[in-house]
Amino acid sequence: MGKFRSKLKRHNKGKTWSKGESAISNPEQMKHRLKAKSRFFQPNLNLAESGSAKGLTMEAVHKHEQRLAYNTETTTVNDVAGSLKSFTFEDDDGMSGSGTATQTGTFKTFQTFASNYSSCSNVSFKKLLTGFRASSDLHKEMLAILSALTEIIRERGGSESSTEYFLLLISQIEAATEERDIIAGIALLSMGIKSVPAPVLRKRFDSTAATLQQLLQRFIESSNQSVIRYLIGCLSVLLRAQDYATWTYSSTFQYFDALLSFSIHSRPKIRKAAHHAVVSIIHGSCFMLPPTPVENDANAEGVQKVQQPQASKIKHHPASGRVTKFCLAQFKPEVLANAQTTVLHTLTLLKDCLGGFRTEDIRSVCEHLLSIMTAANVLVRTNCFQALHALFLTRSANLNATLCAKLLAAIHEYRPDRSDVRQTLAWITVLKEGHMHLATLQLDLCMQALPRIFDVFTADLWLSDRSELVVGVSNCIKELLQDCVSRACTTQELADKYRMSVTKIIGALHKVLNAPFGEISKYVILIFSIVFEACGKHFGGELMSSLTTIGKRYESQTALRLQIEHTIISAIKSFGPELVLQALPLNDANGNVCLERSWLLPLMREGANGASLQFFKEHVVPLALNSQANWRKFSVEEKNNVKAHIYELLSCQLWGLFPGFCRHPRDPEYLRKLAPTLGDVLENNPEFRAAVYDGLMELLDDSQSTECHAAIGQYARNFLPRLFNIYTQKPTSTYEADQRKRVLDVIRQYIARAPAEVQAQLFENAQGLLAASAVASFEYDAYFDINAAIVRVQKCRGIETYFEKYMAPVLRNDKSKLVSRDEQKLKKQQRKTYELLRELMTSDQASCQKFTRKNSIMLQQILLEAFSTTCSVCQASRLHCLKSLLDCRTNLTFNDQLVMKAIPEAVLNYKEFSTRKEQIAEQLIKLIVNLYQEAGKINEFVDILTAGFTGDESLITNTILAFRAVLQQQGQHLTKSRHQAEAAVAFLITFIKVMPIPLVANHLETIMRSLSAMTKDTKRYCRIQIGYFLKKLCKRFTTEELARFVPGDDEVTHRRLKKIRKQMRRDTRKKQNEEAQAESSDEELVGDLEQKSYTIDDILADSDSDLPEDMETEDGVATTKLAMSKSTSKSKQSRSTYIREDVDEIVDLADLKSIGNVLTSGSASAAPSKQSKLKPQLINGGFKTADDGRLIISDKALRGQGKNYDDNSDSDGVESSADSGNEPGGVGNPKRGMEEDSSDEEVLKQDPSTKRKRKASDALSMVSGKTGASTRKGIHRSLGGKSSDAMSVKSGGGGFSKAAGTEYSTKKAKGDMKQRGKLDPYAYIPLTRNTLNKRKRAMNSRKFKSVVRGAGTDGTRKGGTACRSGGRVGKSYK
């Protein structure tokens, strides 16, 4: 019956019934009924026998114990171990040689609802046990059969292996009489047959295959599709397990033919199952897969050695000939003409299995594919392209090089028209994959075929005006260059062998450079960057002209500047700077620098690699010297600051090329001729020193060759003294100070590459200079830094001598002439000395480590004695030295003198040197804590630290911070359960990764309750591992399932699960949005052409959507896979194929060339038909022109009252003009005519026969009431205020704005007059939903008050005149 609720309450969730069906229709939502039905198998505990004392039965108790089998309180280690005993990843049925039988499987392997009624422990049936539905009759039958089989196996003492279930299921199916029992048995067999060992399937092949074939014949007409799919899957697994010899029998091919017959079935699910079965047999048979190595069994190893050669020889399946014969039978002319759906299904099958055919079969199939591609059906051609693309993409060895080359040559003849973009993209994609496959087979054939396709790309397709075609061609060229052409240019021998083909390719690409640039300019330039990378090393001469052309197109303000610079850098890296400067010379005929080419200099520095130092010396240095001379000339002699500044920049940029030429030079031995020039620059040209520093650092880098290091080391005697002199010069600006630091870095690097005798000599000279300079002066500090750089590479004896003479007095603060008496200078001197000592003690040099070990006692004594005389700025380095001493001591104890002295020093300086980047005080404290912990004296260390609380405020602060570090370090020792808990969580992570989901689900409650029962300390300690563990669990189970086992008082775990659920949903949405954006975004070639090419499915997506009307199944669903996945918007488009015709020629569809005239609906050929419907554009906008070309614009034209130039205009224009207050042909107001908008003219020119759509401007007009050519009438007419020019201009409507209701006024009577064919002349207040709002009732009532006031009090006014004068809301009528 219907519902009797008040409609004022707006309850919209009630359920209603159709009229007359309230008593006969059952409700759709039966939540409670289904819930009651689901308890069909569960015993009702309240319905126990009357004789029972407490209303319980032993069976109910047993069921209850099963449900709580793995509760936290009852679970023991023995229970878990017992449940894992019978679990194996591979079933062992006694066929593999092991004679030991496993124990009987337990029913506790799966803890699900169905586990209460079936104690099966075989993992093959987990899908049934975990996904059981009580409402499914099939599931009930399957569960009953599985329970019975399990009981039989257990009664006979079986191990519940897959073999046992397989044999019993076959017997059950053969013995069953009712159809539902047979279907349930087949469903169980499809689950378990996949895990049956292959020897069992081979032994039982004849009887099992015959049974399955009989069942297929029995159910072939059945409406139940699932049973046919189950049978197809079982037969597929059975055939895959057979060895190569079994496929020599005719009976085996009969079973395979039965599967083939279903591959063109009308039902999609059955057809898909048959496709999968055939493809899995062709590619996944046991003799087609690589053999699995067996390590433990010696006999298996012997079998492996025998089978390995046989497996390597089998390249194609013996049944490929049957598939070929079956497919070719579907390509007959009568089938192609009457049953194109069957042809498409066959092509879909070929797409997946063609790579596993024999070479002869591939040849015959390809011949037929090429023959049917001439058909007018675009879908057939599309699927042929897909099949050929899949054949090339598999890189099958059965498609040999000769056949591949012939096939590519044939595909060239099937080129679609350029205007058909999608088909053209598919064609070039197939050719690209074919050439890439041919390059892997035989490179010489590929190189012979490549020039032809490059000619097509560059001469025709690349010049298209369709951007998607340009992008697709560019991507194809990029991949062909990277995968095919680059292979032919790897060595000089290969380059000479394929020089002719590569030269033709380069010539074809170069022709596009000479063509006028348009849309493809960016792609052409970026393609040449790939050409330079692939061929530049051995084809520099052939690419010189292209490089010159690209360089001439460079302009600083051009839009292609970045692309040209990227291409030039690629050329520099491939050719070297020599050839680039030869193609784009920097100097003119007079030897001066060409300013127009100065943009090359930064690119040369960035891209130069493996260049020649000789070229730099002979070509770049003269240009730099010439620019330097011009700089001096214009700055000193002619006082021309502008030109002087230009040549100064040129000089610096030319010298800035030196680091690029030093990057892996080809001729490092030429450095002997370049060294004098570099030394002169270091001495006399400070402005060029930065470039020389960078060049020397490049030569001294570890990535350089040993020859380069040897060459630069020979001139250490020449360069290092000059660098020493530069470093000892006092800087006058911040730039010079920065360069001075750079010099010290060069000295440190250079001194390590210098010969040993040079190092010793320089060290001796540096010490002499240090002794001769005044202590703490600038020169003394400079020489001290130089000595510090040299002493690092000295031998142990040299380090000891230097330490005793120059470092120990400063550390001890002796009264010596080497120690400054000034306190500030002493701090600086001590800081440098401690930093040097720290560097020596922490260095990886063998001599430094030997010095530290040999003099550890002396160093300890000096450091401990110098504690009171050390300034505060040295404490960080001093603590580093103490830590180094502790690290080098092997038998260090907690009560050592060094340890006892280091504790107060570390605490005193803890705050300052633990919050910075150098946390040396904290590291030292933790090191000492470990010593006390190992000795078991941690309490004594705490007592020592406690003494710090008696000091001042700073000491107390440092002591507290030190205690924090101790607590953080020793917190792991406060409870011994931390490491155990961490190890347990790590084990659980591995457990859920390795074990199958049903087994993990069995222990899920135990795991979650154990996690909740962890102490807060261990839970916090393992929070990262637990978070990772929960994320892994949430990916395998739902958060609701996990939260069900978490106690309610564990709020932390519940919050973490909610947070994980939100994050997973957020990640899913983000991934979906990214995929949607990737699909909707336009594929454009940007950057350096890193975007991937179109896939064949993407290219043919639109063309596959053109499904003919006669190619639909009975259900009205498209039969092809791609057509089924088409979007709704695409399906609404017209599905048609176009044939381009010429009026002078007859189209011969049997001709091979006619394939280019068959176009898809998305092609550009349909565009002219749309354009032809548009109105022709008027010359000069419809205005007259004078003899000299001037436009003649009259006042009438400005006012819109002149001649109507639209030939298609009709009476609507007259009506619109009348509506706007002007008669046709009349003279309007010239001022208003100048303010009219052009949009009115478009409205007047609309075709009255077309349906008028509501636009945003209409909605605006209804609100504002300001429009110029409104055709609305009655209550929908415009309600405008007082006419004004400003309002007319602001509204954008143009025309003459006037008060509403003027068309009802009359001169013969007062007020308004009714007109025939029009609504009554009343003004209404619009009724909106806001009027019903109670809160706005008072505001809305004011509108009615104004109407009443206008009709009552002002009724004496003169009708419409009075109302129009003030702008009307309501009018008074008489």
- The first and second tokens of residue 1066, run together, are 């957020």
- The first and second tokens of residue 246, run together, are 């079994």
- The first and second tokens of residue 374, run together, are 């001439």
How many angstroms separate the CA atoms of 345 and 1119, rounded? 8
CB 1235 within 8 A of CB 1285: yes
CB contact set of 148 (below 8 Å; sequence gap of 6+): none
The number of angstroms, rounded, from the C-alpha of 1151 to the middle of its chain's C-alpha atoms is: 46
CB 487 within 8 A of CB 439: yes
**Dihedral over alpha carbons 289, 290, 292, 293 (to 10 degrees):** 170
How many angstroms separate the CA atoms of 626 and 593, rounded? 8
In terms of phi and psi (left: phi > 0; alpha: psi -120 to 50; beta: otherwise), the region of 241 is alpha
Q: How, if at all, do strands 1158-1159 and 1138-1139 pair?
A: antiparallel
How many angstroms separate the CA atoms of 198 and 237, rounded? 9
Regions of the chain where pLDDT drops below 70: 1-119, 121, 291-313, 516-519, 638, 911-918, 970-977, 1078-1191, 1194-1301, 1307-1311, 1322-1327, 1345-1374
1158 forms bridges with which residues in the sheet? Answer: 1139
Which of 595, 603, 605, 670 is CA-nearest to residue 626?
A: 595
How many angstroms separate the CA atoms of 116 and 143, rounded? 11
CB 898 within 8 A of CB 889: yes
In terms of phi and psi (left: phi > 0; alpha: psi -120 to 50; beta: otherwise), the region of 1323 is beta
**Percent of residues in the chain assigned helix, strand, coil, to nearest 5:** 65, 0, 35
How many angstroms separate the CA atoms of 541 and 456, rounded? 25
Distances (CA, A) of 452 to 80, 431, 437, 535, 1224: 70, 11, 17, 18, 67
How many angstroms separate the CA atoms of 633 and 637, rounded? 5
pTM of the model: 0.62
Q: Please compute, for residue 1236, the number of CA atoms within 13 A of its CA located in the half-sphere on the CB side.
A: 26
Within 10 angstroms of residue 245's Cβ, the number of other Cβ atoms is 11
How many angstroms separate the CA atoms of 8 and 29, rounded? 27
How many angstroms separate the CA atoms of 841 and 837, rounded? 6
How far apart are the two ends of the chain, measured CA to CA in Å? 54
Q: Which residue has the tokens 């190992």?
A: 934
- The first and second tokens of residue 172, run together, are 């059950």
CB 657 within 8 A of CB 602: no
How many angstroms separate the CA atoms of 1060 and 1079, rounded? 28
Helix (H, G, I), strand (E, B) or coil at 1153: helix
pLDDT at 1267: 38
